[in-house]
Amino acid sequence: MRHENNKYDLSVCLAAIRKENWARLYDSVVRSIGKYTFEIIFCGPHKELPKELQGLENIKCIQDYGSPTRAQQLSMRDAQGRYITWAADDGWYSSDALESCIEYLDAQPQNRRCVVAQYDEGIGDGLGDPDEGMYQMNFHEAIRSSFYPDHFLIFNCAILETSFFRELGGFDCRFETLPMAHADFGARTQLSGIIPALASTIFMCTQFLGDSGDHAPVHYAQLEHDQPLYARIWRKSDCLERIKIEYDNWKDADKVWHRRFKDTEGGKTG
């Protein structure tokens, strides 16, 4: 099942702050991935894994105090799966769902080896499958653009080849928050010629509305910084030439995201 030079079938990579939820996520991947192999890479302010996950060779914790997008990009840098995906650290995967996605991807030509999965945001078992229209980029005012077609999908929860993710440069770490970075990556991916399939719900997570819970820094960063940046990029015709970016662009992002980590010293990487 593994390709040469890849240790695992799938790398699950996360910008992660909610350590108390990591064991549940790990257990859900075990139930979801079936016959395939996987690793999980967490990146965030924690230095160590929770005790119940220590000693497992397919799980890693990277300490970083940067923005969620910088942490996400860092978590993917050393991924050893032939496919890669990202998730929220307060969520869990449906049983057998990842196995079905990998089976589908393995059967596709290279330009179709990408799945955008539906997901539930709610309390407990989620709120059920939403309208499929919400997964189309131009359905949402904040990421609407006349320079990509209405059928383009948002990549909030996607699975694709790791090599292709890196070829495109991954996420643009000028975006502080992941929703906007995911949308930007999805637009670039589809403009490159990749044709994603929209899969059924594979992932459930908790919904934090507005500035509730620990969501306030993300809420205000998205409104004050990321949405204006997205508009500046995707409402000009030269956006069509911005397909590939430098993968190491995370080095230009602040080492400490002061919206969340106010008491930590930091600055720019060299």
CB atoms within 10 A of CB 180: 24
Query: Residue 192 falls within a domain, yes or no?
Result: yes
Angle CA(226)–CA(229)–CA(232) in degrees, nearest 5? 155
What is the model's pTM?
0.90
Helix, strand, coil distribution of the chain in percent, nearest 5: 40, 20, 40
| Residues of the chain above pLDDT 70, percent | 89
Query: Residue 116 falls within a domain, yes or no?
Result: yes
**179-229 residue pLDDT tens:** 999 999 999 999 999 999 998 888 887 766 667 667 889 999 999 999 999
Contacts of residue 256, defined as CB under 8 A and 6 or more positions apart, other chains included, come to 65, 66, 264, 265, 266, 267
Cα distances (Å, whole numbers) of residue 118 to 208, 231, 234, 257, 267 = 18, 25, 24, 29, 37
Query: Residue 223 falls within a domain, yes or no?
Result: yes
Amino acid at 14: L
For residue 233, what are the domain limits? 8-252
Query: Residue 270 falls within a domain, yes or no?
Result: no
CB 94 within 8 Å of CB 202: yes
**Phi-psi group of 213: left, alpha or beta (phi > 0 → left; psi -120 to 50 → alpha; rest → beta):** left
Listed residue (86, 149, 157) closest to 120, CA to CA? 157
Residue 232's pLDDT is what?
96
**133-186 residue pLDDT tens:** 788 999 999 999 999 999 999 998 899 999 999 999 999 999 999 999 999 999
Query: Residue 46 falls within a domain, yes or no?
Result: yes
Lookup: tokens for 62: 């990277």
Q: Which CATH number is 107's domain given? A: 3.90.550.10
Long-range contacts of 105-108 (CB under 8 A, 24+ apart): 105/159, 105/160
Query: Residue 258 falls within a domain, yes or no?
Result: no
Cα–Cα distance between 135 and 186 in angstroms, integer? Answer: 11
Residue 211's pLDDT is what?
74
Count of domains in the chain? 1
Query: Residue 1 falls within a domain, yes or no?
Result: no
Cα–Cα distance between 64 and 76 in angstroms, integer? Answer: 13
Cα–Cα distance between 235 and 231 in angstroms, integer? Answer: 6
**52-103 residue pLDDT tens:** 999 999 999 999 999 999 999 999 999 999 999 998 888 899 999 999 999 9
Q: Confidence band (pLDDT; 50, 70, 90) for 266?
A: very low
Query: Residue 241 falls within a domain, yes or no?
Result: yes
Residue 214's pLDDT is what?
77
CB 115 within 8 Å of CB 158: yes
- Residue 160 CB-half CA count within 13 A: 26
